[in-house]
């Protein structure tokens, strides 16, 4: 961070539930005011645990969490002033939507008139003006989701936590809500810590993403960096689609790594996460960065590949090739007239640039 006090700081956080295994191992993260940080990872990777520690529902086994520079390990959840949206919304079923929204204000002893005013504003903000008198059960999933978001924002918290808030929605609604939350974040200047296992969601919404695996943050970076420059094979694999070729490093010159694939093909790749000649490596490259029938001079790697399968996707054709000893090499071939001649069983040249293929850990 750039000198400014981070709103949230996790410092060497460890968490164990059973006293034997660590669910979170040495977690460090700073969240700047106004930032949208997503904790992304497969289930059981420790991301939700970190969120619960921040909210105050789970104590950290070791380390300290700071909110606005103050340690909060001993502050109970109701004194932290953190808004939270839960996975199943946790809207109180026995209260109306308006009562649900008024709850945080009621707790803060906001006068009745002001309370009503703010509830109405919040309802308008999430376009549910006419639904104040309904019970949560009478709303659709998307509407419940909006109420949950509005409820977490109504007391103007410094920080809003969201625990897989869109998990229960269908795909279209999920995408729509992603934009709505993103817009709220921008309009209101919120600081959001968001947990999800959906990488598309993380990429769409976040300023920064912390990728969790096995209790450790594998990489914490902006979405583009995460996608373009994954630090290791796990991140490359977890974020977006990814072709992997395994082999051995034969030479390193500056940023350039020469790799001998297991079936004897020679590749050149960018150096990211390999140390020395002789290391095992996974070379990672995105399906959309591979060209079919490229001009030999425009690519650094050029192989002949056999077309195994063509799957029509409208704007592109997903094509599965066998190349360098791997039969699961996916290429997104644009649906253009030039490419329409591809047939299963064809042998065609494919190639890619050195910058697009990264030599990562094995």
Partner 1 sequence: MTTANPSIDQATALPLKEKLARTTAIQRRRAFLLTLPLVLFLLISFVFPIGQMLFNSIHNNKVSGVVPEFTTAIQKWDGQGLPSEEIFEIFVKDLAKAKKVREVGRKVGNMATRINYEMPGSRSLFTKSGRKVGKIKQGPYKEALIKIDKDWADPQVWLTLQRASYDISPAFYIAAMDMKYNEAGEIVKADELYQIYLNNFGKTLWLATLITLICVVLAYPVAYLLSVLPLRQSNLLMIMVLLPFWTSLLVRTTAWIAILQTEGVINDLLVYFGVIGEDGRIQMIYNQTGTIIAMVHILLPFMILPLYSVMKTIQPTYMRAALSMGSKPFYAYRRVYLPQTIPGLAAGTLLVFILAIGYYITPALVGGQDGLLISNLIAYHIQKSLNWSLGAALGTMLLVVVMLLYWVYNRLIGIDKLKFG
Nearer to partner 1, 93 or 189 (CB): 93
Query: Closest Cα partner for 301 from 311, 315, 316, 291?
Result: 291
Q: Does the footprint of partner 1 cover residue 81 (CB under 8 A)?
A: yes
Q: Does the footprint of partner 1 cover residue 66 (CB under 8 A)?
A: no
Lookup: tokens for 39: 């904790």
CB atoms within 10 A of CB 284: 24
Lookup: tokens for 25: 């191992």
Lookup: tokens for 158: 């410094």
Q: Does the footprint of partner 1 cover residue 194 (CB under 8 A)?
A: no
Q: Does the footprint of partner 1 cover residue 75 (CB under 8 A)?
A: no
The interface mask with partner 1, positions 5-44, x = CB under 8 A, is ----------------------------------------
Nearer to partner 1, 75 or 173 (CB): 75
Using DSSP's 3-state secondary structure scheme, residue 138 falls into helix
Q: Does the footprint of partner 1 cover residue 141 (CB under 8 A)?
A: no
State the alpha helices, DSSP H only, in 229-303. 233-238
Nearer to partner 1, 123 or 221 (CB): 123
Q: Are 352 and 344 in contact (CB under 8 A)?
A: no
Nearer to partner 1, 66 or 155 (CB): 155
Residues with Cβ < 8 Å from 228, sequence gap 6 or more? none
State in angstroms the smallest separation of the CB of 84 from partner 1: 4
State in angstroms the smallest separation of the CB of 95 from partner 1: 8
Size of the site for partner 1 (CB under 8 A): 27
Q: Are 350 and 265 in contact (CB under 8 A)?
A: no
State in angstroms the smallest separation of the CB of 40 from partner 1: 21
Distance CA 37, CA 22 (A): 23
Distance CA 183, CA 179 (A): 6
Nearer to partner 1, 56 or 351 (CB): 56
Distance CA 184, CA 125 (A): 9
Residues within window 99-118 making contact with partner 1, judged by CB under 8 A: 103-104, 107-108
Q: Does the footprint of partner 1 cover residue 151 (CB under 8 A)?
A: yes
Q: Are 82 and 153 in contact (CB under 8 A)?
A: no
State in angstroms the smallest separation of the CB of 247 from partner 1: 48
State in angstroms the smallest separation of the CB of 220 from partner 1: 25
Using DSSP's 3-state secondary structure scheme, residue 347 falls into strand
Distance CA 278, CA 248 (A): 6
Using DSSP's 3-state secondary structure scheme, residue 163 falls into strand
Q: Does the footprint of partner 1 cover residue 280 (CB under 8 A)?
A: no
Considering only residues 16, 86, 125, 214, which one is a binding residue for partner 1 as defined by CB under 8 A?
Answer: 86
CB atoms within 10 A of CB 21: 9
Nearer to partner 1, 72 or 259 (CB): 72
Q: Does the footprint of partner 1 cover residue 167 (CB under 8 A)?
A: no
State in angstroms the smallest separation of the CB of 91 from partner 1: 8
Q: Give the footprint of partner 1 on this chain (CB under 8 A).
A: 55-57, 76-84, 86-88, 90, 92-94, 103-104, 107-108, 151-152, 155, 161
């Amino acid at each position: 961070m750039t000198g400014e006090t981070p709103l949230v700081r996790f410092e060497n956080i460890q968490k164990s539930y059973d006293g034997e295994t660590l669910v979170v191992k040495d977690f460090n993260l700073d969240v700047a005011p106004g930032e949208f940080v997503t904790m992304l990872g497969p289930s059981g990777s420790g991301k939700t645990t970190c969120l619960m520690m921040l909210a105050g529902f789970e104590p950290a086994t070791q380390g300290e969490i700071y909110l606005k520079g103050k340690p909060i390990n001993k502050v109970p959840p109701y004194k932290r002033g953190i808004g939270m949206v839960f996975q199943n919304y946790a809207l109180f079923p026995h209260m109306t939507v308006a009562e649900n929204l008024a709850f945080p204000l009621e707790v803060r002893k906001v006068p009745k008139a002001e309370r009503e005013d703010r509830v109405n504003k919040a309802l308008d903000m999430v376009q549910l003006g006419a639904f104040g008198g309904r019970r949560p059960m009478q709303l659709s999933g998307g509407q419940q989701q909006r109420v949950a978001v509005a409820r977490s924002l109504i007391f103007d918290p410094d920080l809003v936590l969201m625990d897989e808030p869109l998990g229960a929605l269908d795909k279209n609604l999920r995408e729509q809500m992603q934009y709505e939350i993103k817009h709220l974040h921008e309009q209101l200047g919120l600081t959001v810590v968001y947990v999800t296992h959906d990488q598309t969601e993380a990429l769409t919404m976040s300023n920064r993403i912390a990728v969790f695996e096995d209790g450790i943050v594998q990489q914490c970076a902006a979405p583009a960096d995460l996608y373009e420059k994954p630090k290791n094979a796990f991140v490359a694999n977890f974020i977006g689609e990814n072709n992997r070729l395994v082999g051995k490093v034969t030479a390193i010159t500056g940023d350039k790594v020469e790799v001998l694939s297991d079936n004897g093909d020679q590749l050149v790749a960018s150096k990211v996460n390999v140390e020395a000649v002789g290391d095992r490596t996974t070379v990672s490259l995105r399906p959309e960065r591979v060209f079919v029938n490229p001009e030999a001079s425009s690519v650094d790697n050029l192989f002949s590949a056999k077309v195994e399968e063509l799957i029509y996707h409208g704007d592109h054709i997903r094509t599965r090739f066998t190349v360098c000893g791997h039969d699961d090499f996916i290429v997104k071939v644009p649906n253009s007239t030039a490419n329409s001649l591809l047939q299963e069983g064809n042998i065609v040249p494919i190639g890619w640039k050195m910058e697009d293929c990264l030599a990562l850990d094995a």
